[in-house]
Amino acid sequence: MYFIGVDLGTSAVKLLLMEESGKICNIVSKEYPLFFPHPGWSEQNPEDWYTQSMAGMKELTEGIDRSQVAGISFGGQMHGLVTLDDQDQVIRPAILWNDGRTSEETDYLNNVIGKDKLSQYTANIAFAGFTAPKILWMKKNEPEKFAKVVKIMLPKDYLAYRLSGSFCTDVSDASGMLLLDVKNRCWSKEMLEICGVKEEQLPKVYESWEVVGTLKPEVAKELGFSENVKVIAGAGDNAAAAVGTGTVGDGQCNISLGTSGTVFISSKNFGVDEHNALHSFCHADGSYHLMGCMLSAASCNKWWAEEILGTRDFAAEQAPIQKLGENHVFFLPYLMGERSPHNDPDARGVFFGMSMDTSRADMTQAVLEGVAFALRDSLEVAKSLGIKIERTKICGGGAKSPLWKQIIANVMNIKVDVLEVEEGPSLGGAMLAAVGCGVYPDVETAGKKLAKVVDTVEPTPELAAKYEERYQKFKELYPAMKPLFKNL
């Protein structure tokens, strides 16, 4: 049997074909455009997700016996608002996770409704990227369009709906909407009322490994698959990536260095930090997780190399970097505003501390270190809850850099485990499909069996001490600049 994992990303959909043994047979990626109609806005056309996913699945399964495809599941960009009318037509382009238009709505939720109430209802507070503020924005700014809304869904759930006809979501992705009672894994009646949304406008909530339906006959025919192919709920991209890296069960950690960056900590127990600096979400393994999310991680390095330096040779830019822990240049990586732990959509990127002897390599190093320091901010919050993290898995495009892994190990002073196969949410999606089809008894078993550690990057006491000193200085920069960001 074959299983397909669909990672619906921000710049492309990545599809992975896996055998039940965990062997990866093929990987295909299909890009689609991203639109920025106003500064700070970020949108996509859901139809692009569907057409590229369909084209990708055809290419992915060329040369295999397509009748052996048993299940399809997803990892998807979280928080996006997709709205359909009574004809199942998309009403407006999807408003994405990294869209910053909802500062008024976020302020209203946090300050008028109140953070304590939000935390009580949903275990989280409002962030500009979450779905609930987007609903309020649409209601206020596009009332005619909002009046037509019959279905509200998340990006990956739009794909599940087009493939199977099932109006569904899963607990991990729904956790990021600010509409879910995370502790009890169901919609929050109070939040629906605050947002003016009826429960029938929202999808049915499933666990990530549960079967939501089978392929529509016309979709199965177009793909050359059996109509019995199961469609499994899937997970938000970070929870799916955590499944793919075996970050399941209690007290496991995964750092993702993708477009955004995350520190993901799995937990058997539900918990919330007192300042809501970390997200408290349901996990795809049936338990919970804490997550710190920074909006610009590997994308900072991409921006720096491609837009500023005019190169795509990331390795060549990093090659001259020798002296770790001694750089006098700092970089605040808030190019799209910041989420964890600052919750500040006005924050921006800053280079600090340059002098006449600052080199190109120093600036590049500052970018890599700035992302590592900002990720450590989230780890510090987890530590304040009494969570002890001694090692972490790592995934995402940035994790391909040996230098960046070394920096992260020493900035955080923890061991960084490198996996044999690092395919993030697409692999997690395929594994969830395999669990849904009964190949594995549960997600934890699949995660522990299929995610193999092949290398560990260990911190060195001398370098960790240097970075400790640098981190303490880094921590002072954001509070000092915070008032200035507002005036920009």
| Catalytic center residues | 237
Long-range Cβ pairs for the range 437-442 (8 Å, 24+): 437/1, 437/3, 437/70, 437/71, 437/211, 437/230, 437/232, 439/1, 439/3, 439/20, 442/209, 442/285, 442/286
Q: Which residues pair with 443 in a beta bridge?
A: none
Kind of pairing between the strands at 288-294 and 279-282: antiparallel
**Phi–psi pair at 423, nearest 5 degrees:** -120, 10
**DSSP reduced 3-state for 132:** helix
The span from the CA of 486 to the CA of 488, in Å, is 6
Q: Which two tokens stand for residue 414?
A: 């923890």
Residue of 352, 154, 335, 319 whose CA lies nearest to 259: 335
How far CA 33 is from CA of 10, 43, 53, in Å, comes to 9, 9, 14
Rounded Cα gap, residues 427 and 432, in angstroms: 9
What share of residues in the chain are helix, strand, coil (percent, to 5)?
40, 25, 35
CB proximity list for 386: less than 8 A, separation 6 or greater: none
Largest interatomic CA distance in the chain: 66
Burial of 291 (0-12, 13-18, 19+ CB in 10 A): buried
